[in-house]
Structure 1
Amino acid sequence: MPVYFNEENGTFFVQCYYCDGRGAKRHKVKRGFADEADAVAWEGDFLSSYQGTMDMRFSDFAGVYIDEIRPRIREHTLITKEYMIKDKIVPYFARMRMTEIEPIDIIRWQNKLIEATDKNGKRFSPTYLRTIDNQLHAIFNHAERYYNLAPNPASKVTKMGSKETKEMLFWTKSEYLKFSEAIMDKPLSYYAFEILYWCGIRLGELLALTKSDFNLEKAELNIDKSYQRLKGVDVITEPKTRKSVRVVSMPKFLVEEIQEYLDLRDDIGSHERLFGVTKSYLAHEMDRGCDGAGVKRIRIHDLRHSHVSLLIEMGFSALAIAERVGHEAVDITYRYAHLFPSKQEEMANALDLGRRE
């Protein structure tokens, strides 16, 4: 039962969902607290009066959880989180009551997901399994922290999957140029991959682009949205992080290429998606291009790594690269540390010279 601050009148309020004596879900809001301590105290008294709060079904509490975190997280994150909860978690636990779920139930759910496959018959990756598991833990942790759920069954279960990401792969510039030649016969594919490689943007950012996002006179590309397809529906959201909202400068040759493509696409309006395809289409084109060029297969996201590695090789700083690709500088330093040239010997020589002077 989180405590919130009302900026309009400077007071605090509490809201929660609970089950009454008949098992019906109720919504309770208490407003007008002068300070947070009073709101917290009222919260404790209310919880003491409703020991049956956690008798509600998991599906109901999952809805409570989503409603209560909605104001505090970004739309992009919320859509992804809500999709995983409703598609991968709720169907299994829906009719169970929160107080009845035991660690063995969670283990059985994990085992079922580990054996499950996607629409292409492939099992879910370890990192995706870990991401789903994190959502389940977040729900139970919320119930424990704000609704006094005890015990928390998720706390006794080891998370499935792995937090380790796949090996970082990237193309050299010569490898990319071979690939681009192999897909040049399809303009949409060619220009899409040109933007991905030479600008280092994310795939979702590419698929959300419209004509109005390009300022060719200033050689700039505006990134302020992202594309997802959830349950067959196209969804345009805010970018992944606040840092992701940015303006990317384009090299002159790319400006000329984009002008050519925009002239070709006189069939779409200035605010319609410029690349109206799916992620799977570009993945197929990636396969086709790799086969035709004879270069190693990398993921589409690895084009972003390729862009960063190219900029590092050209001598740009982590801060400058981070601003371009929408990351924090510390993330660039940490993730790509092995690509930056070592300064240790240079530092030692400078210290030696300074000692002698």
Structure 2
Amino acid sequence: MAVYQDKARGTWYFITRIEQADGSKKQVKRRGFKTEKAALLAEAKLEVEGVAEEIVTFEFIAKEYLKWYEKRRKASSYTKISSIFNVHLIPHFGKRELRNIKQRDIIKYQDKLIDSKMAASHVKKIHTTLSAAFNFAIKNEYTKENPAALVGNVDLKETKHVNYWTLDEFKVFIASVDDDMYYALFMTLYYSGMRKGELLALTWADIDFNTNIINVDKTEYNRTVTTTKTEASRRKILMPSTVMSILKKLKLSQAAMYQQEVKLNYVVFGTIKDSVSTTTLDRRFEKYVADAGVKKIRIHDFRHSHASYLINKGTIISVIAARLGHGDVATTLNTYSHLYPTTEKEAVLDMENDFRPAQVLEFKAE
């Protein structure tokens, strides 16, 4: 028996060959022992037992978890999670044996992410993804504990910043849009608060011109239509008649272009069965923003713009939550509470007007 010292790590390891049940021999390498004696004892035990344990690396678990995840989640969610594994977790933990990843390793990795000045929300998402991979490994009997869960997520305060356009800014932007379809698209986004995927999934069957209601019950990602993000996202949005008139004009222009009646299953923003591609939409949006000279926002920020618009109109929070498709009013408040203009001082000033001076009882000292 022979063991070796890993001078770079300051630990000991051994390499041996173990005979398997079928008569073949398998080379086994074990590393990470603090002392030479510990390495010798582990090698002796392995040779006596005669069975080599399965070596499970983090990369193996990550790939198995992604296979499981892809079959059970939406494509958009899978894309985000696989990116976290491929960009962050696998490069860092990939070749490590799962059983050798300790709590101290998780803490050091958290420190590395924090030092990189990455957004707090992204650091937290990376940690929850790492923890989910360990939970998957436990359920599949590859390991017995989750060091990420034992350490806990990072205690970082997230900086909230919601980017949006005021109504005046939106008016400047929309004046630069010279295409009927895109004009209708951006008007619908601003006055509905829909997500981009929900908007692209709309068909004419979802547009009720009699009630001025748009039905939202699906979403699109990479030209694939699926159910909405959550059950609460299934909703009916009452729209202003001005926007509905613009949509009616768009439908008539499509009929003229197709030289036939526009069927209910035709997409609203696109051509017959194909919605406008996200890359084309993004490119046209950037052009119109540049032409208008307004500040840059993302298309997703139309949701924030709609929320801001409603808040400035004095709309109650439950209505805003319903229009945005939030399942919990707390989500809406947590996202947009800082947009409410009322301060404590203003609230107290309002209290001053609750009673006229003559109505306030005066107490005389005895």
Q: Answer whether TM exceeds 0.5 for this pair.
A: yes
Residues 125 and 188 of structure 1, relative CA distance in 2, 3 Å threshold = farther
Q: Which of 206, 213, 227 does residue 206 from structure 2 map onto?
A: 213
For 1:282 and 1:128, the matched residues in 2 are separated by 26
Secondary structure of 1:136's partner? helix
Residues 133 and 237 of structure 1, relative CA distance in 2, 3 Å threshold = farther
The letter of the residue matching 1:226 is T
The letter of the residue matching 2:207 is F
Q: Indicate the residue corresponding to 2:187 in structure 1.
A: 194
What is the CA deviation profile of residues 130-169 of structure 1, one whole-angstrom value per residue up to 9, with x for unaligned ones?
5344322211134347748355454588979987366212
For 2:108 and 2:195, the matched residues in 1 are separated by 35
For 1:84 and 1:351, the matched residues in 2 are separated by 60
CA contact (8 A) 1:223 1:245 kept: yes
Once the two structures are superposed, the pairs formed by residues 36-51 of structure 1 within 5 Å of their partners are none
What is the CA deviation profile of residues 54-97 of structure 1, one whole-angstrom value per residue up to 9, with x for unaligned ones?
844546544654677789x7647754566446754786566765
| Bigger-Rg structure (1/2) | 2
Q: Indicate the residue corresponding to 1:16 in structure 2.
A: none
Q: Which of 249, 252, 259 does residue 260 from structure 1 map onto?
A: 249
Q: Alpha carbon RMSD of aligned pairs, Å? A: 4.4
What is the CA deviation profile of residues 107-143 of structure 1, one whole-angstrom value per residue up to 9, with x for unaligned ones?
789979x99xxxxxxxx97755653443222111343
Residues 265 and 241 of structure 1, relative CA distance in 2, 3 Å threshold = same
Q: Which of 253, 265, 268 does residue 271 from structure 1 map onto?
A: 265
The alignment's TM-score, normalised by the length of structure 2, stands at: 0.64
For 2:263 and 2:231, the matched residues in 1 are separated by 27
Q: Indicate the residue corresponding to 2:125 in structure 1.
A: 131
The alignment's TM-score, normalised by the length of structure 1, stands at: 0.65
Residues 240 and 348 of structure 1, relative CA distance in 2, 3 Å threshold = farther
Confirm or deny that 1:241 pairs with 2:230: yes
Once the two structures are superposed, the pairs formed by residues 1-357 of structure 1 within 5 Å of their partners are 55-56=55-56, 58=58, 61-62=61-62, 65=65, 75=74, 79-80=78-79, 83-84=82-83, 88=87, 92=91, 97-101=97-101, 127-128=121-122, 130-144=124-138, 147=141, 149-150=143-144, 152-154=146-148, 164=158, 167-183=161-177, 185-229=178-222, 234-266=223-255, 267=258, 270-273=264-267, 274-275=269-270, 276-327=275-326, 328-342=328-342, 344-345=347-348, 346-347=350-351, 349-350=353-354, 356=361
Residues 62 and 311 of structure 1, relative CA distance in 2, 3 Å threshold = same
Range with bigger deviation, 286-295 or 160-169 = 160-169
The letter of the residue matching 1:217 is N
What is the CA deviation profile of residues 295-318 of structure 1, one whole-angstrom value per residue up to 9, with x for unaligned ones?
111222221111111111112100
Percent identity of equivalent pairs: 29
For 1:352 and 1:333, the matched residues in 2 are separated by 34
Structure 1 runs not aligned, ≥5 long: 1-20, 23-51, 116-123
Instruction: Count residues with an aligned counterpart.
Output: 296
For 1:125 and 1:79, the matched residues in 2 are separated by 21
For 1:101 and 1:235, the matched residues in 2 are separated by 39
